[in-house]
Amino acid sequence: MRATFVLDGTRIRSLDDFWRVLMDAFDSPGRQYFGWNLDAFADCLSGGPGAPDADDYVVAWHGHAISREHLGYPETVRQLELVLAQCHPSNRAAVEVRLAAAHDRRGQTVFDQLVEIFESRAPGVLRLQ
């Protein structure tokens, strides 16, 4: 029987909230730490020591429409500004392009990125409800 981990979308108003809700949902002995950034999250969903097997669980994201709204363009702009402030000079131009697009409400949002990571790294696990 597959375990179901529930994300309460009503508690997700920022990317930091997503990490907290995710960790709360997976808070059980032996569960993998997912990190607090998109790259670490993608790596953890891809497998490795302690990572859950995608055949063993599903993630039910309840209230995902609320999360989609809060993880939309304003949060995407905020996250890209944080990245821009710390990124290597060789990456600044690419981040600035993504930031300009987010300001214009174009391109992927944080919500879109999270869903894409689930779909590409753990296909069939995510259930948007």
pLDDT tens-digit series, residues 18-37: 999 998 888 755 455 667 88
Query: How much is the pLDDT for 24?
Result: 86
If one counts every other C-beta atom within 10 angstroms of the C-beta of residue 57, the result is 15
Query: How much is the pLDDT for 90?
Result: 98
Looking at residues 10-20, what average pLDDT do you find? Answer: 95
Tell me the per-residue pLDDT of 59-107, one tens digit each, with 9 for 90 and over. Answer: 999 999 999 999 999 999 999 999 999 999 999 999 999 999 999 999 9
**Per-residue tokens: 17:** 């909230």
All residues at 6 or more sequence positions from 4 whose CB lies less than 8 Å from its CB, including other chains: 57, 58, 59, 60
Query: How much is the pLDDT for 33?
Result: 62
Query: How much is the pLDDT for 85?
Result: 97
Higher pLDDT residue, 27 or 52? Answer: 27
Query: How much is the pLDDT for 45?
Result: 81
**Per-residue tokens: 77:** 């702009």
All structural domains of the chain, each given as residue ranges with its CATH number in brackets, are 1-71+110-129 (3.30.370.10), 73-108 (no CATH)
Query: How much is the pLDDT for 6?
Result: 94
* Per-residue b or e along 65-100, where b marks 16 or more CB atoms closer than 10 Å to that residue's CB: eebbebbbbbbbbebbeebeeeeeeeeeeebeebbe
All residues at 6 or more sequence positions from 18 whose CB lies less than 8 Å from its CB, including other chains: 7, 12, 67, 71, 110, 114
Side chain identity, residue 128: L
Query: How much is the pLDDT for 36?
Result: 81
Query: How much is the pLDDT for 23?
Result: 86
